[in-house]
Amino acid sequence: MTSQAITSSCCSGAGSCSGGAAGSSTEGGSVTTVYRVQGMTCGHCEGAVTAELSALAGVTAVKAVAATGEVTVVSDAPLAEDAVRAAVDEAGYELAGTAA
């Protein structure tokens, strides 16, 4: 994703908002992974990323936090990074990797 796409997040354009591997663990048969996502600035951004990631097969929970740029994903099994990257890209943001 280009920096242009990042700067065109939902909040930097027409003001649509008015006022949000490493990093993985296995617990109780599920996998929790914390990803770093660039470009989220508000609750609408969090919702867009959450919706796209929630649609991935095996995902059981998603929590996006714009303030930290972290997205916690709980899934039945480890997710393919290319699938996560594609979902984040579809939402309009950039996957920067997993949180350490």
SS3 content of the chain, % helix, strand, coil (to 5): 30, 30, 40
Q: Where are the domains of the chain?
A: 3-11+20-98
Q: What is the pLDDT of residues 25-47, one digit of tens each?
A: 666 689 999 999 999 999 999 99
Indicate if the pLDDT at residue 80 is higher than 70: yes
Q: What is the 3-state secondary structure (H, E, C) of 72-93?
A: EEEECCCCCHHHHHHHHHHHCC
Indicate if the pLDDT at residue 100 is higher than 90: no
Highest CATH level, class, for 3-11+20-98: alpha beta
